[in-house]
Amino acid sequence: MASPDSSTHRVPNEKHHISGIEGTAHEAAERGHAATDRYGNALVHFDPVAERKLRLKIDLMIVPTVALLYLFCFIDRANIGNAKLAGLEKELHMAGYDYNIVLSCFYISYILFEIPANMLCKKIGPGWFIPGTTLLFGICSFGTAFVHNFSAMCGVRFVLGIFEAGMLPGIAYYLSRWYRRSELAFRLSLYIVMAPLAGAFGGLLASGILKLESVGSLRSWRMIFVIEGIITCGLAIIGFFTLTDRPATAKWLTQEERDLAIARVKSERVGTTEVLDKIDTAKMLKGIFSPMTLLTSFIFLLDNVTVQGLAFFLPTIVRTIYPKNTVVSQQLRTVPPYIVGAFFTVLVPFASWRLDNRTWLFILSAPFMMTGYIMFLASTEAQVRYGATFLITTGAFSFGALTNAQVSANVVSDTARAAAIGTNVMFGNIGGLISTWAFLPFDTPNYHIGNGLNLATASVILLLSIGMYFFVKIDNKKRESKDIDSELDGLSDKAIQDLDWKHPAFRWRA
C-alpha cells in the first residue's frame, strides 16, 4: 500500500515550472487531471510570492464590481425602511400589520427562489447571471416609485425578492471559483460589508434625496425608489462588461496565471478532476444535506433575524429613541451603528483568513449581540439604547461572510458548493422573514417582544457554535481511523468524486 507521503513529494521539473508552480501544475489545471492524491494531499507545490501577486490581481479585478452591485442590491431591498419614515405608509393608507406583510412578501419569494437561482447562476455562468439579475431588480426598484396602493406594493416586493434571490449566494459561489478556502471569508466580507454600508449610505442617500423638491412628477418617498433604481440599472450594464466568468476565461490573466488560479483551488478539493463540474443531483444533495451546511445555515437563520431586522426597523427604532428629532436627523442617526458594523464585518473575516478558522469567531461574536439586546430590555434611557445598536452591529454583520465561507469550505465539488451556499442563504432569509414580524406596532416604543426574540436567537447561536466546534473535533478524529485505500478500492473515478464530504480523506474545517 502506498503511503500518503510517497505521492506528495515530487522532484520539481523545470519544464513544468509555471508562474511559481512546480511538478504537474499545468496538467493539474486541465480537465480530467486531479490536483490531489487519494489521501487528499496536494500534488502541486506553489510559490507563495506568485500566489500573492495573483491573489492581489484577482482582488482588484473581481471584488470591486461585485461589491458595488451588492451595495445597491441591499439598498434596493432596505430603502423601504427609509421610505416608511418619509410617508410611504400614510400615502398608501397602510395601517396595523400592513408594513410587516409588505416585508414578508419579499422574503417569501426570496426564500423560494434561493437554491434555484444559485443553480441557474452555475448553469449560465456568474459573469452573465449577476449583472442580469441586478438589472432586473433595479427595474423593479424603479417601478416601486409608481405604486399607489397596498396590494401593488406587495406585488412589487414579491417580484423584487425573485430577482434579488440569487445575489448573495451567487456572488459567494462566484468568488469560490477564484479563492482558496482560507482566503474566501475575507473576500466575501469585502462585498457583504456593503450590507451595513448600505444602511449607512442608504440613510445618507435617502436624506439627500428627500431634500429635493421633486423628480419629475414624483415627490417624497417615491424619489428614493426612482433615483436608486436608475443607479442600480446603470451599474448592472457596466457589470456585463467588467465581470469575468471564471479563471479560464480571464483575458486579464496570462496563461500561466490562469493555470495557477485553477490549480491552487483544485488542490484543496480531494478527488476532484475538474473545478467546474456539470450539475449533478447526487453532488447537489451532498451540498444541501451536509451536516455542516445544515448546522451553519441554522446559525445564519438566527443571525439574520437580527441583521434583516435592523435593515428594516433601525430607522423606526431610532425614531422611538429620538422622537422629537426631524426625519432627516433620524435618518442620519441610523448611519453610525452601520459604520461600526461595517468595520467588524471586514475585521472579523480578516482574522478568519489569518487564523483559517471561523467557528471560534462565531463563538466570540454572539456575546456582543446578547449584551446589546440585554441593554435594550433593561433600560429605557435613549443613550443606553442607542449604544446597544453599536454592540449589535458589531456582533451580527460578520456572520454573512463567515457562514458562507464555512459551508463552502466543508464540501468538495463545485455543484455541492453552489447548493450549500444557496441553502445557507435560503435559511438565512427564513430568518429575514421571521424578522419582519419581530417588531410589531403594539409593542412600540420599547419592543420587548422583538428585543427578547433577538436575545434568544443570539444565545442559541452561541450554544450551536460551541457544538459545531466539538462536532468538528470529534468527527475528524473518527475519520483519522479510516482505511482510505480499502474504502476507495473498486470505486470508479466518478463514484469517488460523488462521495464529496463522505470521502474518507475529507476533513471538516473549523
DSSP 75-130: HHHHHHHHHHHTTHHHHTT--TTHHHHHHHHHHHHHHHTHHHHHHHHHHH-HHHHH
- For residue 34, what pLDDT band results from cuts at 50, 70 and 90? low
Grouping H, G, I as helix, E, B as strand and the rest as coil, residue 300 is helix
Class of domain 47-246+257-266+278-483: mainly alpha
CA 505 from centre of chain: 28
Is pLDDT larger for residue 36 or for residue 174?
174
- Give bridge partners of residue 218 from the DSSP assignment: 215
| pLDDT for res 85 | 75
Inform me whether the pLDDT recorded for 260 exceeds 90.
no
| pLDDT for res 209 | 78
Please write the tens of the pLDDT for every residue from 61-113: 989 999 899 888 888 887 787 788 778 888 888 888 888 888 888 888 988 89
For the chain, give the percent of residues with pLDDT over 70.
87
| pLDDT for res 193 | 83
CA–CA separation, 169 vs 166, rounded Å? 6
Is pLDDT larger for residue 383 or for residue 218?
383
- For residue 19, what pLDDT band results from cuts at 50, 70 and 90? very low
| pLDDT for res 503 | 80
For the chain, give the percent of residues with pLDDT over 90.
27
- Give bridge partners of residue 215 from the DSSP assignment: 218
Cell of 88: 410611504
Nearest CA-CA partner of 312 in 102, 460, 73, 112: 102
The boundaries of every CATH 1.20.1250.20 domain in the chain are 47-246+257-266+278-483
- For residue 132, what pLDDT band results from cuts at 50, 70 and 90? very high
| pLDDT for res 459 | 96
> What is the rounded average pLDDT for all residues in the chain?
82
CA–CA separation, 10 vs 7, rounded Å? 7
My answer on whether omega of the bond before 291 falls inside 30° of 0, hence cis, is no
Instruction: Among 39-48, 241-250, 344-353, 395-404, name the one with the lowest average pLDDT.
Output: 39-48
- For residue 495, what pLDDT band results from cuts at 50, 70 and 90? confident
| pLDDT for res 275 | 60
Cell of 385: 439604547
What does the pLDDT average to over 347-357? 89
Inform me whether the pLDDT recorded for 223 exceeds 60.
yes
- For residue 330, what pLDDT band results from cuts at 50, 70 and 90? confident
| pLDDT for res 17 | 40
Task: Report helix angle 448-480 to 291-321, nearest 10.
Answer: 160
Inform me whether the pLDDT recorded for 239 exceeds 70.
yes
What does the pLDDT average to over 159-174? 90
Please write the tens of the pLDDT for every residue from 193-207: 887 777 667 777 777
Residues 6+ apart with CB under 8 A from 249: 127
pTM above 0.85, yes or no: no
Instruction: Among 47-51, 277-281, 355-359, name the one with the lowest average pLDDT.
Output: 277-281
- Give bridge partners of residue 46 from the DSSP assignment: 21
CA–CA separation, 292 vs 280, rounded Å? 20
| pLDDT for res 456 | 95
Is pLDDT larger for residue 407 or for residue 192?
407
Q: Are the C-beta atoms of residues 153 and 147 closer than 8 Å to each other?
A: yes
Q: Measuring CA to CA, how many Å separate 26 from each of 8, 10, 21, 105?
A: 16, 15, 8, 50
Count of residues for the chain?
Answer: 510
What does the pLDDT average to over 341-357? 89
What does the pLDDT average to over 298-307? 92
| pLDDT for res 199 | 67
Please write the tens of the pLDDT for every residue from 406-448: 998 888 787 888 889 889 988 988 888 888 788 887 887 788 8
Per DSSP, helices labelled H in 210-290 are 221-242, 255-266, 281-289
| pLDDT for res 4 | 37
Task: Report helix angle 359-378 to 448-480, nearest 10.
Answer: 160
| pLDDT for res 155 | 93
Inform me whether the pLDDT recorded for 467 exceeds 90.
yes
